[in-house]
Amino acid sequence: MSYDDHEVDNNWAGDISEENTPPELFLLRRALIPRGPDILAYRRFAIGDLLSLNVLDTRLFRADQPCGDGVKANCREALEPHRTMLGDTQERWLYDGFKHARARWTVLGQQVMGMHCDRDPDPHVVSLSMDTWNGAVAARDRLLAAVEDARLSNLIVLTGDVHNHWAGELKKHFDDPNATTLGIEFVATSISSGGDGFETNDTFKTLLTQNPHLKFFNNQRGYVRHVGTPGRWQADLQGLDKVSIREGHISTRKSFVIEYGKSGLADA
């Protein structure tokens, strides 16, 4: 669907390399075949009146990760109003598309997790990944405000990057479990990176408890199968018990459904 970071450099942002590669060398590495620096990775596809698929680029135009990247607690830089994941031009393009959306489902295909995800088990400490939309809170607020202003009732966000399965709800206010749900996000795991992995553990069980908008986690390898119809959207999160042997068995680890016109995530 689109590229992310590992095609170029881990967690790169705009013309900034995580490894402090000299700019002239990094820009040469970043030039994507066949159109090099002129490639336009964000684009929109329409599948009749069923869905509008907006493929985003959250690498080329984004602000550098705040507070030195990584998982950080209480990073004030992440709250700066100028921070962006898409850049001004791509934001306008996306939000104008929202205003004219006529399809049953509006879908975003993008790279890094949009949902708030506090990774510290201490209830008094909030630790967030600075590479995700948590590192650009104002940008996420603008995105969700545009969704609400356009009255999009059926937003599906498809994400990758973190090599785990996740599913959850995009809330107007993530600190309020009863806040309006403005969209549903599914994060697909990796095909092989990370080895056999595991279904879950106590750490991630606690993480789901302290982030109630997050409904599912799995750290095995696999993919997500999506089936969209005019009346419902179903996501089947597929996982392999082992990728280290040829006889690995794949099965559905969890299935979710979103009914058209309803914003919540439900078990299938």
Q: What is the 3-state secondary structure (H, E, C) of the chain?
A: CCCCCCCCCCCCECCECCCCCCHHHHHHHHCECCCECCCCCCEEEEECCCEEEEECCCCCCCCCCHHHCCEEECCHHHHCCCCCCCHHHHHHHHHHHHHCCCCCEEEEECCCCCCCCCCCCCCCCCEEECCCHHHCHHHHHHHHHHHHHCCCCCEEEEECCCCCEEEEEEECCCCCCCCCEEEEEEECCCCCCCCCCECCCHHHHHHHHHCCCEEEEEECEEEEEEEECCCEEEEEEEEECCCCCCCCCEEEEEEEEEECCCCCCEEC
User: In one letter, which amino acid is 247?
Assistant: E
Domains and CATH numbers, the chain: 44-267 (3.60.21.70)
What is the reported pLDDT for 9?
78
User: Among 110, 155, 115, which residue's Cα sits nearest to residue 134?
Assistant: 115
- Residue 48 backbone phi and psi in degrees, to 5: 55, -140
Q: In the chain, which stretches have pLDDT less than 50?
A: none
Rounded to whole angstroms, how far apart are CA atoms 60 and 226?
Answer: 27
Rounded to whole angstroms, how far apart are CA atoms 198 and 148?
Answer: 37
What is the reported pLDDT for 8?
78
Q: Which tokens hold the place of 170? A: 């995009």
What is the reported pLDDT for 13?
78
Rounded to whole angstroms, how far apart are CA atoms 126 and 137?
Answer: 14
What is the reported pLDDT for 14?
80
What is the reported pLDDT for 19?
78
